[in-house]
Amino acid sequence: MSDWPPGSARSLRLAGLVCVPVGLLGWLIFYYLFRATAGQDWMVFDTAVGAWSRGDIALLLDGPRFTDVLNQTHAAWLGQKLVFHPWVYPPYTLLLVLPFAALGWPATYIGFQAASFALMLAGLWRWRPTGALGWAFLAGVVLCPATAFTLGAGQNSFFSAGLVLLGVAWLRRRPVAAGICLGLLAFKPQLGLLIPVALAASGAWVPFAAAAATVAALLATSLVVPGLALWRGWLHLFLSGDPAFHQWVNEGRIYGQSVFSNLRVLGLPDGLANAGQDVSILICLACVWRAFAGRLAAPRRLAVLLLAMTLAAPHLGNYDAILTGIAALLVLAEAANRALPRAEAVLAVLVWSSTAINPPILFHLPMLTPILCFALIFRLLIE
């Protein structure tokens, strides 16, 4: 460490002293949270594929009955019944699980988590610093509480993170591959709101076109598999104004950690909370544009994008905080090449650690994570 820029070694020791115990605590918390229901969110996809393969489209659009079937199908695996787990995803998201469907439960759950983690690892490998700090960077992602939450819930956050990491890394060297990766974020559309902004700001028009073509191909494919019948039912559900359905959506959002969720926990009504979310999107749009249109160093540019993606998302699960964890580690990893001010290191550590105390409705700490993430974005934009 003596060859590193002044202050970096001290900042990294501080980071380790905080992150290691917080990470272990987060893993312990989420182990107990999911010990009887591991993979519960992936069960939704597994049950949905089963219903689609039987031609039971109506089941996919009936939340209470869908939850009953889910509990019956996975009774041997579950230690307790799940309360309410409807399927509310766009029909093309079924394409994500179809390659694993033949494995059967629980191999489909384990197989997808392993494959998506490998994809994220491939992306992380391209952003890691050299030497011991590189291994600490990778360990920090594994230790991150959001990693534990993703595995416990059976979510697709590793997949989303890997796509962004590879997409941004390949913008100049492999523009078509970069665009395909970023276009595939349509599987998690709320996280992709700022991708067109980043591509336009950086003048990456080949990746932009490739991303648009990828989204169009997903939509076209989904008109055949899973098919028009599911699309018609899903669109009717979303556009009909059915109060029960919109209650499902709102309940899902309030248990997340988006700006909307934080404002609702503060006591604001839906209208004002949504307005706050819209303001957050606009601020993030401006920040991403500045990061990608300017001369910001590549790791800082990526960190701004990852943080802004979470702040702009209308719905954000605790598992999606893997993006904020990676952003914080990118900041800390800069210690290999530049002096890392203690204030910047502290802020990055707080952002990384905040994934252990979400969602706000459970820990009653509303707006803490958004404030920390915005603070780190502004810090990164001031060079």
List, for residues 32-54, the tens digit of each pLDDT value. Answer: 989 999 999 999 999 999 999 99
pLDDT of residue 2: 41
Contact of 187 with 96, CB cutoff 8 Å: yes
Q: Residues of 301-328 as b/e, b for ≥16 C-beta within 10 angstroms?
A: bbbbbbbbbbbbbbbbbbbbbbbbbbbb
Residues for the chain: how many in total? 383
Give this prediction's pTM.
Answer: 0.94
pLDDT of residue 1: 40
165 in helix, strand or coil?
A: helix
Per-residue pLDDT of the chain (383 residues; tens, 9 = 90+): 445 565 577 778 878 888 999 999 889 988 998 999 999 999 999 999 999 999 999 999 998 999 999 999 999 999 999 988 888 889 999 999 999 988 999 999 999 999 999 999 999 999 999 888 899 999 999 999 999 999 999 999 999 999 999 999 999 999 999 999 999 999 999 999 999 999 999 999 999 999 999 999 999 999 999 999 999 999 988 887 677 777 777 777 877 889 999 999 899 999 999 999 999 999 999 999 999 999 899 999 999 999 999 999 999 988 999 999 999 999 999 877 777 777 888 899 999 998 777 667 677 778 999 999 999 999 999 86
Residue 60 to residues 51, 67, 88, 238: CA-CA distances in angstroms? 7, 10, 8, 13
Convert the pLDDT of each residue in 210-231 to its tens digit.
999 999 999 999 999 999 999 9
Report how far Cα 262 is from the mean position of its chain's Cα atoms.
Answer: 17
Report the C-alpha gap between 289 and 198 in whole angstroms. 6
Residue by residue, DSSP assigns 196-223 as HHHHHHTT-HHHHHHHHHHHHHHHHHHI
Report how far Cα 184 is from the mean position of its chain's Cα atoms.
Answer: 13
pLDDT of residue 314: 94
Contact of 258 with 274, CB cutoff 8 Å: no
**Contact partners, residue 236, CB within 8 Å, separation at least 6:** none
Contact of 42 with 154, CB cutoff 8 Å: yes
Closest CA to 356 of 33, 13, 14, 16: 33
Contact of 328 with 11, CB cutoff 8 Å: no
Report the C-alpha gap between 309 and 212 in whole angstroms. 18
Contact of 61 with 237, CB cutoff 8 Å: yes
Contact of 345 with 8, CB cutoff 8 Å: no
Report the C-alpha gap between 18 and 10 in whole angstroms. 13
**Dihedral over alpha carbons 60, 61, 66, 67 (to 10 degrees):** 120
Reported as half-sphere exposure (CB side, CA atoms, 13 A), residue 363 has a value of 17
